[in-house]
Amino acid sequence: MSRNQDHGMVDTTQLTEQNFDETLVATPGLVMVDFWAEWCGPCRAIAPVLEEVAEASDGVTLMKVNIDEHPGLAARYEIRSIPTILFVKEGAVVDRIIGAAPRAVVQGIVNARLS
In a domain, 10, yes or no: yes
pLDDT of residue 50: 97
pLDDT of residue 11: 74
Domain that holds residue 73: 2-98
Q: How far apart are the first and last CA of the chain?
A: 29
Structural domain count, the chain: 1
The whole-number pLDDT of residue 12 equals: 85
pLDDT tens digits along 61-79: 999 999 999 999 999 999 9
Gap between the Cα atoms of 53 and 32, Å rounded: 10
Are 46 and 83 spatial neighbours (Cβ–Cβ below 8 Å)? yes
Active-site residue list: 40, 43
- Distance separating alpha carbons of residues 115 and 112, to the nearest angstrom: 6
**Residue 113 included in any domain:** no
Q: Is the pLDDT of residue 1 over 80?
A: no
Residue 12, domain member (yes or no): yes
Q: Where are the alpha helices (DSSP H) in 61-102?
A: 71-76
Residue 5: per-residue pLDDT: 41
What is the chain's mean pLDDT, rounded?
91
**CATH code for the domain of 89:** 3.40.30.10
